[in-house]
Structures are given as C-alpha cells and as structure tokens.
C-alpha cells in the first residue's frame, strides 16, 4: 500500500487519528538542516528520524491518507522578514483542524473546530511573529492534495521533494490583510516574545 514497506505501514497504521499523528510528530527531533536544506519524503523522515515543518506536514498528509482521508496541506505565507509555514489539514464532522511540525511553543496542533480554512489559518495569526515581534502571516494557499504527485512517488522518494515546495508557492493564495491593517499592526509585547523563544528541541553544536 502506498509503495511502503511492511514496517512503514505498521508504523503509519497505528497513527489512526489526527491526534496520534501529532503526538508521533512531536517525538521526531526537529530537522535543523546542518549541511543543506532538505524536503524529505515520509520514508526519509522515518529513516533519518528528523523533520521540519513542510516535511512534517507531508508526513502527516500521508498518515491522514492511510485513514482514508485526502492528503491535504496548506501553505502559510509570511512577510519577507519571517519564514513560511506548512500545515496538514483535515476535517471532522465538517470542521477543520491542523497537524503541524514546529520547534516552537506556538503554531502547533489545531483541534477540528473551525468552519473553514480561513478561520483555521487565522487562529495562527497572533502567534505568528518574527524575532522583532512583528506579526508576519500574510496569506494562505488553497489546500493542496498531494495525490496529484503520486506518479512521482512522493511517499517513498529518496530525493528531496522540492517540486512540492515549488508548487505550494505558485498555487492560489488568499491575502488576509490590507495595506492599512499591515501598517497598523501592533508588535507582540515583551512577554509574548519571551514565550515565543521557547523551543522543543535545542540545536546541537557541530563538531569542529
């Protein structure tokens, strides 16, 4: 199934709810990309036992597909002074939720309580700020169904999945702010920025 090995299938079949997928992702160390940027496939995430946001979202999408759901991911685009984020999205009883891999105490799992994708995305807005406290979320993409890449074997590829990253950047996005709103944004305050510095995984020092 899905071109996976028996062991890979066994692991993924145990992740039979969105919450279990999120709990599993939380156990995987963050991918700091010491040597080069990566966009690992689900197979490589398991093999190398590390992932960052897009890698985690793609892995979660496969796990959702194993449950009979669509493997959907959404691109959250930030201002130029911050980083974009990618989430896997799912529905329960017509409401949307999200699975997300991040190293920070925010931008994390969202319960399936949101009526549409925009409402779900906006739940990330106030937490989404850069190191200077500037709120950075600017737009979000339509949900992308990763099954469109099945011929490329995105689930098991040993090569980086940069074509998914490129596709995400080009699909339709919806702006969430006007120029006036952007101009009037209040910075995150001191305590918010302090909380924003909390990380789950600390970067190890490279050997000299």
Q: What is the pLDDT of residues 144-167, one digit of tens each?
A: 999 999 999 999 999 999 999 999
Query: Which H or E run includes 55?
Result: helix 53-66
3-state DSSP assignment of residue 81:
coil
Could you give phi then psi for residue 86, rounded to 5 degrees? -130, 135
Q: What is the pLDDT of residues 81-124, one digit of tens each?
A: 999 999 999 999 999 999 999 999 889 999 999 999 999 999 99
Rounded to whole angstroms, the Cα distance separating 10 from 28 reads 17
Query: Which residues are paired to 140 by β-bridges?
Result: 76, 174
* 204 falls within a domain: no
Question: Do residues 186 and 133 touch, judged by C-beta distance below 8 A?
Answer: no
* 120 falls within a domain: yes
Q: What is the pLDDT of residues 27-53, one digit of tens each?
A: 999 999 766 789 999 999 999 999 999
* 201 falls within a domain: no
* 206 falls within a domain: no
Tell me the mean pLDDT in the region 13-39.
93
45: its two tokens: 């995430």
| Confidence band for 204, pLDDT divided at 50, 70 and 90 | confident
User: What range defines the domain where residue 161 resides?
Assistant: 6-196
3-state DSSP assignment of residue 94:
coil
* Per-chain mean pLDDT for the chain: 95
Q: What is the largest CA-CA distance in the chain?
A: 54
Q: What's the pTM value of the predicted model, to 2 decimals?
A: 0.95
Rounded to whole angstroms, the Cα distance separating 94 from 200 reads 32
* 202 falls within a domain: no
Total number of domains in the chain: 1
Question: Do residues 43 and 155 touch, judged by C-beta distance below 8 A?
Answer: yes
Confidence at residue 97, expressed as pLDDT on a 0 to 100 scale: 98
* 1 falls within a domain: no
Listed in sequence order, the residues at least 6 apart from 85 whose beta carbon sits closer than 8 Å to its beta carbon are: 53, 75, 76, 78, 100, 102, 107, 124, 128
């Amino acid at each position: 199934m899905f071109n996976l090995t028996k062991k890979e299938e066994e692991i993924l079949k145990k992740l039979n709810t969105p919450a279990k997928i999120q709990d599993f992702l939380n156990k995987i160390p963050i991918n700091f990309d010491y040597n080069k940027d990566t966009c690992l496939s689900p197979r490589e995430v398991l093999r190398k036992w590390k992932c960052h946001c897009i890698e985690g979202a793609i892995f979660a999408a496969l796990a959702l597909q194993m449950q009979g759901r669509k493997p959907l991911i959404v691109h959250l685009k930030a201002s130029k002074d911050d980083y974009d984020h990618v989430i896997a999205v799912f529905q329960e009883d017509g409401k949307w939720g999200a699975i997300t891999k991040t190293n920070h105490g925010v931008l994390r799992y969202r319960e399936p309580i949101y009526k549409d994708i925009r409402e779900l995305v906006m739940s990330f807005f106030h937490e989404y700020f850069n190191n200077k406290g500037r709120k950075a979320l600017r737009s979000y993409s339509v949900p992308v169904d990763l099954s469109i890449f099945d011929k490329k074997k995105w689930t098991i590829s040993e090569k980086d999945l940069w074509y998914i990253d490129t596709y995400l950047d080009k699909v339709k996005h919806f702006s969430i702010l006007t120029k006036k709103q952007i101009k009037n944004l209040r910075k995150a305050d001191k305590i918010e920025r302090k909380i924003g510095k909390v990380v789950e995984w600390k970067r190890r020092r490279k050997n000299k």
